[in-house]
């Protein structure tokens, strides 16, 4: 092994570059992180909750799917259970509708009280078609919200319910 003596000038050069590099990195890192943060935010759609519903078992008839997750309300953590009416439409897409009536927030029922192929709200008689579209002449003025859906390992995952636009 040959000895390579480091001169004073070289040593100072190395040291200053190193320290300078750290300082520059220290300043730039947060800036870069801030700049790319919107890109890193996953999906921006909030989290998805896994349900116990297997996607293969879904049919064209709406089935009730319950799912629960933890919710924080100030200091109070509670387990929230939510429901969705899930079916496959003609195109084979999964449709997950929120059961919350757009009138005053009751829970609607598929084919409740003998209303064929419609969602029925027991509170004030609101009706919705299978697509979630509100039936004119009944109290609700907007279609049922539709959940964002995802499939993971064959199980259905539901995101946030979002308003639908059906003409």
Q: How far is the CB of 32 from another protein (least distance, A)?
A: 41
Write out the binding residues for another protein, residues 126-145 only, by CB under 8 A.
139
Q: Counting contacts by CB under 8 A, is residue 77 touching another protein? A: no
Write out the binding residues for another protein, residues 57-76 only, by CB under 8 A.
68
Q: Counting contacts by CB under 8 A, is residue 25 touching another protein? A: no
What pairing do the DSSP bridges indicate for beta strands 49-54 and 94-97? unpaired
Task: Choose the stretch contacting another protein; rule: CB under 8 A; options: 7-15, 38-46, 101-109, 154-162.
Answer: 101-109
C-alpha dihedral (90, 93, 102, 44), degrees to nearest 10: -160
Task: Choose the stretch contacting another protein; rule: CB under 8 A; options: 6-14, 20-28, 33-41, 99-107.
Answer: 99-107
Task: Choose the stretch contacting another protein; rule: CB under 8 A; options: 3-11, 25-33, 104-112, 153-161.
Answer: 104-112
Binds another protein by CB under 8 A, chosen from 36, 123, 151, 166: 123
Q: Which residues bind another protein (CB under 8 A)?
A: 68, 79, 81, 100-101, 103-107, 113, 121-124, 139
């Amino acid at each position: 092994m040959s000895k390579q003596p480091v001169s004073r000038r070289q040593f100072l050069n190395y040291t200053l570059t190193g320290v300078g590099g750290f300082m520059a990195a220290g300043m730039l890192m947060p800036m870069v992180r801030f700049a790319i943060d919107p890109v890193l935010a996953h999906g921006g759609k909030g989290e998805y909750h896994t349900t116990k519903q297997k996607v293969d078992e879904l049919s064209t008839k709406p089935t009730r799917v319950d799912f629960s997750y933890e919710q924080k309300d100030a200091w109070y953590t509670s387990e929230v259970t939510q429901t969705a009416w899930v079916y496959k439409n003609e195109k084979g897409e999964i449709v997950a509708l929120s059961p919350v009536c757009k009138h005053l927030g009751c829970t609607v029922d598929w084919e409740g009280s003998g209303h064929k192929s419609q969602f029925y709200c027991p509170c004030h008689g609101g009706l919705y078609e299978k697509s979630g579209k509100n039936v004119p002449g009944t109290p609700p003025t907007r279609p049922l919200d539709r959940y964002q859906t995802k499939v993971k390992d064959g199980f259905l995952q539901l995101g946030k319910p979002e308003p639908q636009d059906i003409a």
